[in-house]
Structure 1
Amino acid sequence: MVAEEQKNVYRVQGFTCASCAQKFENNLKSLQGVQDAKVNFGASKVTVLGTASQAELEKAGAFENLKLAPENEEIPEEPQVPFYKKHLNVILSFLFLLAGWVSFFQLGEENLGTIALFASSIIIGGYRLFFTGLRNLARLDFDMKTLMTIAIIGAAIIGEWGEGATVVILFAISEALESYSMDKARASIRSLMNVSPKTATLLVEGKEKQVSVKEIEIGDIMLVKPGQKIAMDGSIMKGTAAISEAAITGESIPVTKSLNDPVFAGTFNEDGLLEVRVTKRVEDTTIAKIIHLVEEAQAERAPSQAFVDKFAKYYTPMILVVAALVAIIPPLLFSLSWETWIYQGLAVLVVGCPCALVISTPISIVTAIGNAARNGVLIKGGVYLEEVGNIKAIAFDKTGTLTVGSPEVTDVHSFEMAEDKLVAITAVLESGSTHPLAVAIIKTAEEREIDLAQFNLESFESVTGKGLKGMIDGNVYQVGSPQWFSTENHPHIEHHSSMIEQLQMQGKTVVVAGNEERIFGLIGIRDQVRHSSKKVVKELKELGLNEIVMLTGDNEKTANAIGKEIGLNHVKANLLPQDKLQFIKDIRQKQRNVAMVGDGINDAPALAASSVGIAMGGAGTDTALETADIALMADDLQKLPFTIKLSRKALTIIKQNISFSLGLKILALLLVIPGWLTLWIAIFADMGATLLVTLNSLRLLKIKDENEN
């Protein structure tokens, strides 16, 4: 096994194309002292297992002048270089090309001055291309740069200097487009990385001290002034403020935070003076985890990308064979012109360059995942991005997902004692429980200003799945579900059955208070439905998802009432966690692709069994980030339709890109049959495909959450 200290992760500067990233990975694997290497092109990172030094690793990327920096170190921003300086060789090459064509039309193609101008254009604009291509050719490593090098040199040999020079310029433009598109796709991750401040103000012995976030320890006290970003995850010790959490959740409306409320690095303090106790180190903050997970997601190959990678492996050698056959067979078998058919063969090499095909999928995946992250949706891989677009059914947990997750007492019906005493007796018995229903009852007692300390709880017993029993001030009381009283054949429970049923039909959970002989009262509790649930279900139906199910452990009448209010097709009640798991398995057998939406903790088995597990409330919830395939960071279902639309659009664009890049090349190659394929057509077919694939993929950046204000 490889020791943990032998695993090093570096950020990479200088990547220009996906094939270059693959070449860098292969070069690293061939180094002495490197056991394995994995390049993440989308995130510009590389993971190396072994003992090779950073300098040795950079030598493996010398072909593209790659620079490495350890992952946990800040990479200094590259100085802003004016466009004309950055691409000076391309500009000079283009000027020589123009001069060459002017000379061509005035003096002819045989003129030495014309040839010299075209040759200068080829050398100035293509020397990097030739250096890599010839070295690859010597190694029998046939990538797109090898194909282009052979084609351009071949064009010069047969006297097509002008077309060869034009190919160089257009290929340089094509590479610039690919580099630009990947930079745009990575921009969302860079913006996340720049969200958190690099320094913070600590309170040390009552004095303010400015320190680097790397020096901050758990337990330190930060001072956050109005208009400042919060530098670390923590808990408020003093103060109240409206906090904009858009960087984490994508939610633009500020959230009011006060004593003991959690706050996250990268969020913005709108108006209050806060003292915050730090709860996580800088590498463990929520924003750091999101960045890490998004970067890892970009490295995951989606099914369509895996297909392209496998196809490209055989595609390039196939193009070489086809080009050789085109150049050789017509002259040998049919005594046709060698010059004409060598030219056709060279054109096949150019049109066969897999630039557009290679970037067709990764650029779409990276762009979509980055866009989702900016909108508060964490998608943990290309496979899940594709999967959520293919779902045919979706199952929701009820509590905390379709409902708010904090039940409230809505009804108090007292029969043989005062309402306040009924609430008090119930609250005293529930005081040792953290169950949401117990919390709701205790909260009601507090709101009514009932002093629970005046009641003496002498004994207590919890009856699993039924309720509580105890002695208060010498009297025995029991509090629990109507079913418990019914199964014990309580003499008076039937007298109140119509009221119990009426409350349940309203979507309320009923708690009965009494003893063995009498019923003292009923308390109706309801978990409020999220204001967005009904709208989200409607939008999902409009997206064609007709199999929408709610899974809950609540009673059937309450579940049906909530399901009807929201507009659900099916409701499954009285379910234990294992029942939810089995239900998901049954749906998968019928509908194969099913998503499960839950809180990431209680629903972990069902989330794991579904095609795509979607967790609510990723912000600050480590379990949600770890267990789910997709996390809705804002704890709001309104991001779900946006995620499905984004996924479907990404799937459509990926299919369009693959079909278009292959179709255009096949169409161009068919021009070989009548001998019509020229280097002009070839390069415009290749560059046109790359340009259209790039622009098509960048459309994913424009997809917005329609629910955003």
Structure 2
Amino acid sequence: MINKVSVRHSIKGRTRLKIKGLKKSSPEWTEIENSFADFVGILNIRINKKGSSVILRYDPTLTDETKLKSTIELLIPTEEAGSSCPSTCGCSIDTGNPVKPALFRFAAISAVMGGVFIRTTLLGLTVAETLISPLGIIAVISAVPLIKSSLKSIRNKKFNLEVFLGASIIAAVAAGEALTAFEVLWINSGAELLKAWITERSRKSIASILDATSHHTFILVDGVEVEAEVSSLKKGSVVVLHTGEKVCVDGEIISGEALLDESPISGRMDFIPRGTGESVLAGTFVRQGVIHVRADKVGDETYLARILSLVEDSLANKAPIEQVADKLAATLVKVGFGATAATFLITGSYWRAFTVMLVMACPCATILAASTAVSAALSAAAKKNILIKGGRYLEEAGKIDTVCLDKTGTLTTNEPVLDSIISISEFSEAELLQLAYSVETHNHHPLAQAVKKHAEDKNISPIPHSVCEYYLGMGMRAELEGDEVLIGNKKLMEEYNVALGKTSAKAAPLKKRGLTVLYMAKGRTIVGLLAFDNLIRSESKAVINRLRQNGIRGTVLITGDEKNTASELSRKLGIAECYPSLMPQEKAEIVSNIQAERKTVMMVGDGINDALALAQSDIGVAMGAGGSEVAIEAADIALVNDDLEGLVYVHSLSRETLKVVNQNFWIATGSNLIGVILGAVGALSPVMAGMIHIAHSAGVLANSSRLLNYSPEPLKIESETIETKVS
């Protein structure tokens, strides 16, 4: 009976309910699902019995939200509908820790198996295996969870692998083969432990992404800055943010100005000047300046928290893919039941039928054929600093037909480079570079760092300056040997009444190429232009070409950068489609739209702004070393070394792994078929049935081990794929 219901999280189009007081087997779960099933516009109803939660996805344009709310209220006996969880809880699903019971069961069965091995092999003693023997009783007790699950499946008219395993264990113990039953139990408990470990790791990963903002900040109380916990902030609090601090609320700047790094949200690498009256978002950084922000949204109401909540939900709602192991399990169940029944009908011998059942009972064909190949492939990928978070993602990677890529940090590096120096005076490019280096010597802006690096590469030394001033969001002013030199954008030139004249026309082609352009003025006269770009990774074009050769039909650029920048990069790399100036949820919508065309999508990105798209995609790939923690947690695969060649490796490795799995299937199934024939004609005893499992297991392991050293044909990286620098 339901004793408590609460709305844990609710945004337009998605509501999560927490249901307490229901057992997993309670029929009320079906009643709850049916109460929402008839609503117009309902897209998905997900019941999580372990987490005691219900997640509703609906189309706000079609669903009557008032009626939906009324239906939810009818379920709530003790709490007021519409209540939300506190910001500190993060709205994460609490499923408990499934690893401990699974580990205990596996350890207990392993201990019994170890004791039997010591007694029979080392001490030379016999072990009774009858139903009433200690070993038989322990086998029955250990099999209770599996037998319960089997009975539940039978009640639901489902005859799956668990039913077959349960029947085999009962038959083995009844026939006085308790050790054989333990063999089945040991392999089954090991598989359950692995599944529980992966589930728990995923749960912790999802919970940890909610730690994306700072824990402490400063608020203004009676004109004095006071340190406070971020979790204690309320709407209307005035937060004081200094240089280097992370913004922890969504709000409006009420005083001050600062240069903000908004790349974690928008993906744009340029620092954006923000002042009084402008909005800021949690998760961005103050790179220079001090601002007072009035909090409009805090905790789980901020834009970042809503994005992270959607990421969590998308991860939990990934449709289960039909893995090779599932297909093998279905085949094993059918063949096992059929072979056992056929043996009994033809021979009339219970003993022969039992032997055939034991041959087919051990799920080596299901577990080893897929798991050993996947484990070897995951190990091979790890050696190349590629983290694949599970076999399902490895399998799916080989089935993709469309790759969506972020720009900054993915196809390009995170750091800008000086692309061009345009002289429009008597100064040479080298002289202009020396002037720029001299002005930017003490500036830590990324563009200034690009100037300094290029000058140092050219062995150019700066001219000492007597005056140096930094203008937030505009540029630099310095006095060199008595002359005033300005480097900055159009706003700085207007601030000092520098006429641009025909210079704007010369800057236009550079901007059309997607470059960032700064003006240089000496003595209030324009003397040159500096154009900056992000360096395209040397392997980017070769990777895209190889993926296309390997059967990838579509390549798509989705980025927060402006149209000109994105279009130029697409042209250089031969990317078919380009979607610029996107916010995080818009990126996810693009991915969803592509999936709606029955395409399988791999998304590659590196920031918080990519996290929702990574979770929405069929396979998400994060650029590890330079990527944000949120992107890495949301992704299924992480390229730890930021090497795009890893995409080609994972795609090829996936296909090779599936080939090996299919080969393993025939190795395992072939030996089982031989065992079935021998058992049916009476030439195989139950004890020898175990030897067949050892033989085909060794063959499967040997075949899978070939993947440990797998390496596809190396890429041919041509020189033109590298972005041209200033000569």
TM range (shorter): 0.5 to 0.7
Of 9, 21, 36, the match for 2:16: 9
In the TM superposition, what are the counterparts of 1:560-571 in structure 2 within 5 Å?
none
How far residue 326 of structure 1 moved from its aligned partner, in angstroms, is 1.7
- Are 1:164 and 2:175 an aligned pair? no
**Aligned sequence identity (%):** 12
Q: Residues of 2 paired with 1:692 and 1:280: CA distance?
A: 58
Q: Residues of 1 paired with 2:125 and 2:602: CA distance?
A: 69
How far residue 150 of structure 1 moved from its aligned partner, in angstroms, is 1.0
Alpha-carbon spacing, 1:371–1:150, altered in 2? closer, same or farther (3 Å): same
Is contact 2:406–2:605 with CA below 8 Å preserved after alignment? no
Q: Residues of 2 paired with 1:120 and 1:70: CA distance?
A: 48
Q: Residues of 1 paired with 2:32 and 2:693: CA distance?
A: 33
Q: What TM-score do you get using the length of structure 2 for normalisation?
A: 0.53
Alpha-carbon spacing, 1:523–1:239, altered in 2? closer, same or farther (3 Å): closer
Partner of 2:231: 213
Q: Residues of 2 paired with 1:290 and 1:409: CA distance?
A: 42
Q: What TM-score do you get using the length of structure 1 for normalisation?
A: 0.54
Of 521, 529, 532, the match for 2:533: 529
Which stretch of structure 1 is more off in the superposition, 195-204 or 98-107? 98-107
Q: Residues of 1 paired with 2:695 and 2:241: CA distance?
A: 59
In the TM superposition, what are the counterparts of 1:521-670 in structure 2 within 5 Å?
525=529, 527-530=531-534, 532-533=535-536, 535-537=538-540, 540=543, 600=582, 618-619=607-608, 639=642, 641=644, 644-645=647-648, 647-648=650-651, 651-652=654-655, 655=658, 658-659=661-662, 662-663=665-666, 665-670=668-673
Alpha-carbon spacing, 1:384–1:331, altered in 2? closer, same or farther (3 Å): closer
Alpha-carbon spacing, 1:540–1:42, altered in 2? closer, same or farther (3 Å): farther
Q: Deviations over 1:536-576 (max 9, x none)?
A: 44774896779999999xxxxxxxxxxxxxxxxxxxxx999
Structure 1: give runs of 5+ residues left out of the alignment. Answer: 14-20, 57-68, 416-438, 458-467, 469-476, 485-499, 512-520, 553-573, 589-593, 701-709
In the TM superposition, what are the counterparts of 1:292-691 in structure 2 within 5 Å?
292-293=310-311, 296-297=314-315, 299-301=317-319, 306-308=321-323, 312=326, 318-333=331-346, 335=347, 337-351=349-363, 354=366, 386=397, 404=416, 410-413=422-425, 448=485, 452=494, 481=505, 525=529, 527-530=531-534, 532-533=535-536, 535-537=538-540, 540=543, 600=582, 618-619=607-608, 639=642, 641=644, 644-645=647-648, 647-648=650-651, 651-652=654-655, 655=658, 658-659=661-662, 662-663=665-666, 665-671=668-674, 672-675=676-679, 680=690
Q: Which amino acid aligns with 1:527?
A: A
Q: Residues of 2 paired with 1:641 and 1:6: CA distance?
A: 35
Q: Deviations over 1:600-647 (max 9, x none)?
A: 48x999998898697888556999999998787969999471662574
Which stretch of structure 1 is more off in the superposition, 199-208 or 228-237? 228-237
Partner of 1:33: 35
Q: Secondary structure at the match of 2:423?
A: strand
Q: Secondary structure at the match of 2:538?
A: helix
Alpha-carbon spacing, 1:117–1:285, altered in 2? closer, same or farther (3 Å): same
How far residue 289 of structure 1 moved from its aligned partner, in angstroms, is 1.9
How far residue 141 of structure 1 moved from its aligned partner, in angstroms, is 2.0
How far residue 149 of structure 1 moved from its aligned partner, in angstroms, is 0.7
- Are 1:143 and 2:160 an aligned pair? yes
Q: Residues of 1 paired with 2:334 and 2:406: CA distance?
A: 52
Of 113, 130, 139, the match for 1:122: 139
Q: Residues of 2 paired with 1:71 and 1:196: CA distance?
A: 14
Q: Residues of 2 paired with 1:292 and 1:361: CA distance?
A: 33
Q: Which amino acid aligns with 1:282?
A: G
How far residue 152 of structure 1 moved from its aligned partner, in angstroms, is 0.3
Alpha-carbon spacing, 1:414–1:126, altered in 2? closer, same or farther (3 Å): same
Alpha-carbon spacing, 1:444–1:244, altered in 2? closer, same or farther (3 Å): closer
Is contact 1:42–1:186 with CA below 8 Å preserved after alignment? no
Q: Deviations over 1:245-274 (max 9, x none)?
A: 9x9999xxx999998699975789999998
Q: Deviations over 1:105-128 (max 9, x none)?
A: 87756686x842122221332222
Q: Deviations over 1:181-232 (max 9, x none)?
A: 3434555434323444566553333252635537533763156799x87644
Q: Residues of 2 paired with 1:528 and 1:365: CA distance?
A: 41
Q: Deviations over 1:7-62 (max 9, x none)?
A: 6436899xxxxxxx9x9999758855352633689999862478689999xxxxxx
Is contact 2:251–2:281 with CA below 8 Å preserved after alignment? yes
Q: Residues of 2 paired with 1:255 and 1:102: CA distance?
A: 68
Alpha-carbon spacing, 1:454–1:233, altered in 2? closer, same or farther (3 Å): closer
Q: Which amino acid aligns with 2:352?
A: T
Is contact 1:282–1:288 with CA below 8 Å preserved after alignment? no
Q: Residues of 2 paired with 1:654 and 1:34: CA distance?
A: 42
Is contact 1:11–1:45 with CA below 8 Å preserved after alignment? yes
Q: Secondary structure at the match of 1:535?
A: coil
How far residue 368 of structure 1 moved from its aligned partner, in angstroms, is 14
Q: Deviations over 1:505-544 (max 9, x none)?
A: 9x99999xxxxxxxxx9986453232x3253447748967
Is contact 2:213–2:283 with CA below 8 Å preserved after alignment? yes
Alpha-carbon spacing, 1:383–1:174, altered in 2? closer, same or farther (3 Å): closer
Q: Residues of 2 paired with 1:287 and 1:337: CA distance?
A: 65
Q: Which amino acid aligns with 2:334?
A: V
Of 55, 69, 72, the match for 1:47: 55
Q: Secondary structure at the match of 2:323?
A: helix
How far residue 239 of structure 1 moved from its aligned partner, in angstroms, is 10
Alpha-carbon spacing, 1:639–1:619, altered in 2? closer, same or farther (3 Å): same
Partner of 1:286: 304
Is contact 1:32–1:52 with CA below 8 Å preserved after alignment? no
Q: Residues of 2 paired with 1:482 and 1:271: CA distance?
A: 31
Alpha-carbon spacing, 1:670–1:178, altered in 2? closer, same or farther (3 Å): same
What do you get for the CA RMSD once the two structures are aligned? 7.5
Q: Which amino acid aligns with 1:192?
A: I
How far residue 153 of structure 1 moved from its aligned partner, in angstroms, is 0.6
Q: Secondary structure at the match of 2:55?
A: strand
Alpha-carbon spacing, 1:291–1:119, altered in 2? closer, same or farther (3 Å): same
Alpha-carbon spacing, 1:539–1:42, altered in 2? closer, same or farther (3 Å): farther
Q: Residues of 2 paired with 1:544 and 1:345: CA distance?
A: 46
Could you say which structure has the higher helix fraction? 1
Alpha-carbon spacing, 1:73–1:297, altered in 2? closer, same or farther (3 Å): closer
Partner of 2:464: none
Is contact 2:543–2:645 with CA below 8 Å preserved after alignment? no
Q: Secondary structure at the match of 2:133?
A: helix
Q: Residues of 2 paired with 1:315 and 1:341: CA distance?
A: 22
Which stretch of structure 1 is more off in the superposition, 607-616 or 194-203? 607-616
In the TM superposition, what are the counterparts of 1:70-149 in structure 2 within 5 Å?
72-73=90-91, 87-88=103-104, 91-96=107-112, 115-149=132-166
Partner of 1:152: 169
Q: Residues of 1 paired with 2:112 and 2:651: CA distance?
A: 46
Q: Which amino acid aligns with 2:318?
A: E
